[in-house]
Structure 1
Amino acid sequence: MSKIILSTRIFRPEFIAQIERIAPDYQFKIAEENFSWEDVEITIGWSKKWQSALSGDVAKQLKWVQAISAGVDYLPLQEFQEKNILLSNGSGIHSQSITEHILAMILIKTRNIHHAIQNQQKKQWDMPDIRYSYLAEQRFLILGTGHIGQRLAQTLTLLGAQPVGINTSGHPAKGFHETYTMGQLSEEIPKADFIINILPLTEETTHLFDAKFFASMKKTAAFINVGRGASVDTDAITHALQTKQLDFAALDVFEEEPLPKDHPLWQLPNVLITPHIAGITPHFQRAFMEIFTENLRSYVTSNSLIRNEVVLNKGY
């Protein structure tokens, strides 16, 4: 029986050759090619079309799924756990891209660039009653202190800020001036000038950002979401922006994507919508393959993973 590494996407020949050197007993195939699930032991990425093979016990040889994304909430985690399938993610690949995206959103707010763009469309020169602020004087509350959170915190620190982090246990994290537990979140919300969500989606974080959350924020504060769309109650943030409970939001992810064309968020002057682009990363294949090939070497020698293994019952 041959052993297959099945990929949802095409990789450059140099990377396929690297895979073949590390795992000469495996064939690399992309999903569009002919293959038998009886031979598939590893997948790169995951397709909803494969769910029937997993549920129907056709994919009996599947042992490891290397997700391309950092978030894995869209995957059948419970079935992976029941079938003892290893899972690793792409965490860390997108850190710089998402950090720069967030930084752009922050500066748009502190320098009122969004108002300037709106005025340009109206051919209006003056921007009366506009507040400007120094980035270093803002209190940044970052929910999620992993790869992306740490890169963002380090960048903001270099620019003079003292970012504060929220994680499960309140453990210290590189780049953060202070860290607090999720249980302390409610105490920190009213203090923040910017609240930035980078959390994975779990039962605990689904609709974490609800009407009560936004009502607790400063009326001059901004909210940035580059985490998961379902972490935010869309109706709640829409109402908060419409009623000026919240001064500004930069939203890259949504509960429903694409955001429906008739959704009121499109028309609000205090929101900036980007179409799930924060994680788009130059040189993605090279960065991803560094993770995958390192894990592949470990897998073929010890059936274990050494980078980015997901704890399936936690979802991250």
Structure 2
Amino acid sequence: MRVLFTFNIKEDQLRSLEMGFPNTEFSFTKNIEDVPLDSYEIIVTYGEDITPSVLDRAPSLKWIMVASAGVEKMPLDVIAEKGIIVSNVRGIHKTPMAESVLAHILSLGRALPTLREQQERKEWNMKVKQTELRGSTALILGPGAIGSEIGRLLNAFGVYTIGCNSSGDRAQFMDETIPFDQLKEVLPKADIVISILPSTQETKGMLDDSYFKLMKNTALFMNFGRGDLVKESTLVHALKHGEIGHAVLDVFEKEPLPAESELWELGNITISPHVSSHSGKYVERAMEFFTENLSKWQQNDRELLNLINLKKGY
């Protein structure tokens, strides 16, 4: 069996693979276009280099392991036509992203940016507006692996958590869970609105002006899922007209965020350049998913961890 990685791993990780799977050949490239793909049964990739032409050149390909949570940039319809299985590393981001979300919430609530500004001005001012989390309500759009971990951390601070997903099925660490069609009923109750939603046909542009008008004018809106959930113009209007109190954005409609974007100029926004999931342990965690699934694969078990529904896109 031949496996192609389109990114590099550490020497000790490669040695571990070779020891654990002695009958498997592992190859590596940074440019999939330069490699003959005829004999590879498995490709391990971040996803963006998988194109229809790559798939046409890989007649033996049966499984694509995506070392990322998002698969929306891949030609899923072509992959489905060819009967190729796709799995990802859903949940790999839950620790760093949940910690990032909590860090921003605590920083704003305890006025750390303001205190830092006062320090730079050498200003001793005890009249700083601060608040606390206990007794507040957080609405989490997409209470999956990441959203549930955020909920777990918020529960520890005494926050009431409401999960919102397409089905309304109960989610872990949510005090209650609602379907998307009940979102507008719940928005006025939320002190914090956090989106971890993937990019799907259902979620693209889902939050229009009408949703922000229903939020508390003190609400903290956080988008850590995908930037196409809400148009930039909608966010600018909500922030400039006081429909919400503050926004923390890690993802944007267009990335990198253009220098001419009005978002840069607003005082009630925190801009994070899509780094909330970054961690020195990322590849290590991705390899854990891969090795467990490779063991299943070699035993002809096709019920892999984190299989992607190619029709739904997640």
Q: Same fold (TM over 0.5)?
A: yes
Per the TM alignment, residue 49 of structure 1 is displaced from its structure 2 partner at its CA by 4.5
User: How far does residue 127 in structure 1 lie from its aligned partner after superposition?
Assistant: 7.8
Superposed counterparts of 1:170-209, under 5 Å? 170-209=168-207
Q: Which letter maps to 2:312?
A: K
Secondary structure in 2 matching 1:287: helix
Q: Which amino acid aligns with 2:95?
A: Q
Q: State the secondary structure of the residue aligned to 1:81.
A: helix
1:1-316 matches, cutoff 5 A: 3-32=1-30, 35-46=35-46, 48-54=48-54, 57-120=56-119, 125-126=124-125, 131-302=129-300, 304-316=302-314
RMSD: 2.0
Q: Tell me the SS of whatever aligns to 2:237.
A: helix
TM-score normalised to structure 1 length:
0.92
SS in 2 for 1:254: coil
Matched residue SS, 2:51? helix
| Deviations 1:144-167 (CA, angstroms, capped at 9, x unpaired) | 111111111111111111211111
| Contact 1:241-1:247 within 8 A present in 2 as well | yes
Give the residue type in structure 1 aligned to 2:240: Q
Q: What is the percentage of aligned positions where both structures have the same residue? A: 36
Contact 1:7 1:43 in 2 (8 A): yes
The SS at the match of 2:212 is: helix
Equivalent pair of 1:143/1:167 in contact (CA under 8 Å): yes
How far is 1:50 from its partner? 4.2
Partners of 2:266 and 2:25 lie apart in 1 by: 51
Given that 1:8 and 1:47 are in contact with CA atoms closer than 8 Å, whether structure 2 keeps it comes out as no
The one-letter amino acid of 2:197's match is L
Measured in 2, the distance between the counterparts of 1:205 and 1:117 equals 37
Q: What amino acid does structure 1 have at the position aligned with 2:61?
A: L
Amino acid in structure 1 at the alignment position of 2:111: N
User: Do the aligned residues in 1 keep the contact of 2:8 with 2:29 (CA within 8 Å)?
Assistant: no
Count how many residue pairs are aligned between Structure 1 and Structure 2.
312
In the aligned structure 2, how far is the partner of 1:97 from the partner of 1:49?
Answer: 25
Describe the SS at the equivalent of 2:174: coil
* 2: CA distance, partners of 1:73 / 1:218: 32
| Counterpart Cα distance in 1 of 2:154 and 2:230 | 24
Distance 1:112 1:213 in 2: 27
Q: Return 26-35 or 180-189, whichever deviates more.
A: 26-35
How far 1:13 sits from its partner (Å)? 2.1
- 2:135 and 2:93 map into 1 onto residues whose CA distance is 27
C-alpha change, 1:268 and 1:187, in structure 2 (3 Å) is: same
Structure 1: state its 5+ residue gaps: none
Quote how far apart the aligned CAs of 1:120 are. Answer: 4.6
Q: Aligned-pair distance for 1:300?
A: 1.7
Q: Cα offset for 1:51?
A: 1.4
- 8 Å contact 2:52–2:78 — kept in the other structure? no
In 1, are the aligned partners of 2:87 and 2:304 still within 8 Å (CA)?
no
Higher relative contact order (CA 8 A, sep 6+): 1
Query: 1:126: how far off?
Result: 4.1
* Corresponding letter in the other structure for 1:194: I
Contact 1:46/1:75, CA 8 A, preserved across alignment? no
Q: Distance in 2 between matches of 1:161 and 1:9?
A: 40
**Offset of 1:122 from its aligned partner?**
5.3
Q: Distance in 2 between matches of 1:154 and 1:90?
A: 20
DSSP-derived class of the 1:249 partner: strand
User: 1:78-121 CA deviation, whole Å, 9 max, x = no partner?
Assistant: 11111111111111111110011000111122122233344555
1:135 alignment partner, SS class: coil
Q: Report the CA distance shift for 1:36/1:22 in structure 2 as closer, same or farther (over 3 A).
A: farther
Residue type at the aligned position of 1:229: G
Counterparts of 1:49 and 1:288, CA distance in 2: 18
For residues 224-269 of structure 1, give each alpha carbon's deviation from its aligned partner in whole angstroms, at most 9, with x where no partner exists.
1110111121110011111111110000011111101111111111
SS in 2 for 1:137: coil
User: 13-22 or 64-73, which moves further after superposition?
Assistant: 13-22
CA displacement at 1:217 relative to structure 2: 0.8
Distance in 2, Cα, partners of 1:145 & 1:178:
11
Structure 2: 5+ residue runs without aligned partners?
Answer: none
> How far does residue 48 in structure 1 lie from its aligned partner after superposition?
4.2
